[in-house]
Every structure is written in C-alpha cells, then in structure tokens.
Amino acid sequence: MSEITSSTVLRRPADIRYRRIDGEAVVLRQSTAEVLVLNGVGATVLDLADGKRPVDEWIDALAREYGADRETVARDVLEFAGEASAAGLLEPVPAMPATKAGE
C-alpha cells in the first residue's frame, strides 16, 4: 500500500458504511458484516474522507475544530489515516492521468 501523505486524497470504500451515535461512529463493512466503533475524532475523519479533499485539508479542519496545534494534529491524523487504510476503512483515490495537449 502506498504511503499516506498530507497530499493524499482518501475516500471510504463502497462497502463501508458508518453511523454516528452519541458522538461515536459505528463502522460497518457490509461485505463481511464486520463492525468497529470509532471515537468522535475518528468519526470526523470519516466525514472528511469524501474522496475530494487531501489529508492536508482534514488537518486544517481538525486543528480549527479542536483548537489544537497543527503539527500535533498532522501527526495524529496521518497515523490514523495509515491505520484506517490498512484496516480497509479508507482507500486512496487514484490520481487522474494527465491528458496530452490537444486531447
């Protein structure tokens, strides 16, 4: 699996669904019926993983929301994103191939 950096764009795989309950997130992998519970920050990261915004923007949003030091947030978010990707809760969005001039 490729390394997650602040420029990586991540999304939730198609078979992953989640539901916020009282500040936590319950994540369901539909194909296997596996269920995980994430804390409030994990739930917010799932909200942010829309397949459009790079991780860098998540870091900004979380640092703002929690009033925390950006460097600390960046370290935690990259670690979480790596673990969540390894667990199959997030996946990188393939980069669009560059088009040739005139196409």
Partner 1 sequence: MSFGGEFLCHPDLFPGRRSGEPWGEWRLVLDVPGGPYRFSGLAETQVEALRLRFGRLCRVLDSAALKTAEAGVHTAVFRAPGADFLELDTRGWEYTLDLDHAESFVRIAGLRLMARLDWAPGITGGLWTPEVAGEMWVSVLENYLRLLVAYRLVAEGGVLLHSAGVSDGHSAWLLLGPSGAGKTTASRLCLAAGAEVLSDDLNAARFPDGGGGPVVARLPFTGDLGERQGEPGAWPLRAVLRLRQGPAESLVPLSPAAAFAALVAAAPYVNRDLWRREPLLAALDRLAHAVPAWELTFSLGADLWSILARIPL
Residue 94 CB, shortest distance to partner 1, in Å, is 23
Q: For the beta carbon of residue 23, count every other beta carbon within 10 angstroms.
A: 8
For partner 1, which stretch binds (CB under 8 A), given 1-9, 16-24, 74-82, 89-97? 16-24
Closest separation in Å from C-beta 69 to partner 1: 28
**Alpha-carbon distances, residue 52 vs 13, 73, 95 (angstroms):** 14, 20, 11
> In whole angstroms, how large is the CA radius of gyration of the chain?
15
Binding site for partner 1 (CB under 8 A): 15, 17, 19, 21-26, 28, 30-37
